[in-house]
Amino acid sequence: MAYAFDTLGYSKALREAGIAQDHAEAHAAAAREFIMVDLVTKEDLRTALELQTLQMTVRLGGIVAAGFAALAALIKLT
C-alpha cells in the first residue's frame, strides 16, 4: 500500500518556518524519494506475518509426516 506524500504542503510548512524556498522544495523531494519508499504499513506487516505462518505450518506438517513415516518404519521392523 502506498501513501501519498504532500510535497507541496511539506515544502510550504518548511517555508513558513523560515527555510528558503529552494531548500524546502529540495527537502520535500528528498523526503518523498528516500523516506516514503521505505515505509512499512500495517497491511505489509500482516501480509508478511501470514506468509511466515503459512511457511511454518507447511514445515511443521512435513516434520509430523516424516515422524509418522519413521514411526511406521520402526513398527514394521519390530
Dist. CA 22–CA 11, nearest whole Å: 9
Cα angle: 73, vertex 70, 66; to 5 degrees: 140
pLDDT score for 61: 96
pTM over 0.95: no
10-residue mean pLDDT series, the chain (78 residues): 73 92 89 76 92 97 95 89
pLDDT score for 34: 77
pLDDT score for 29: 86
**How is residue 11 written as a grid cell?**
515544502
State how far Cα 59 lies from the chain centre.
22
Q: Cβ distance 43 to 1 under 8 Å?
A: yes
